[in-house]
């Protein structure tokens, strides 16, 4: 309502710039902004390192269940560039053994 966000400019912004613009709005945190980039803006290379599901799945599949720090997850995520959003989605799905019908 204040006009601080310009949806017309979002396509021109890189991921970090758009996250910064969104987080500037009261009530929007980094995780929410990252989910917005992944699911609304369909950005292909978002790695939400603070997401509990991603952290759990990465620990389970890459560390034998041992927790990972955000820095360790960022380092692991470098392997998945430029498709870290898809890697995140696959790791989320790996936690749920029941197939979802869309």
| Matching residue, tokens 């609304």 | 40
CA atoms within 13 A of residue 69's CA, in its CB half-sphere: 3
Catalytic option among 6, 50, 51, 66: 51
* 101's tokens: 């019908």
Q: Is 51 annotated as catalytic?
A: yes
- 23, 13 contact by CB (below 8 A): no
Catalytic site residues? 51
């Amino acid at each position: 309502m204040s006009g601080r966000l310009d949806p017309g400019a979002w396509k021109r912004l890189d991921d970090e710039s758009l996250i910064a613009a969104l987080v500037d709005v009261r009530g929007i945190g980094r995780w929410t902004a990252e989910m917005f980039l992944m699911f609304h803006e369909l950005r292909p290379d978002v790695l939400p390192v603070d997401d509990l599901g991603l952290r759990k799945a990465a620990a389970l599949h890459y560390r034998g269940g041992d927790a990972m720090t955000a820095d360790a997850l960022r380092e692991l995520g470098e392997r998945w560039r430029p498709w870290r959003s898809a890697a995140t989605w696959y790791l989320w799905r790996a936690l749920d053994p029941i197939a979802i019908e869309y």
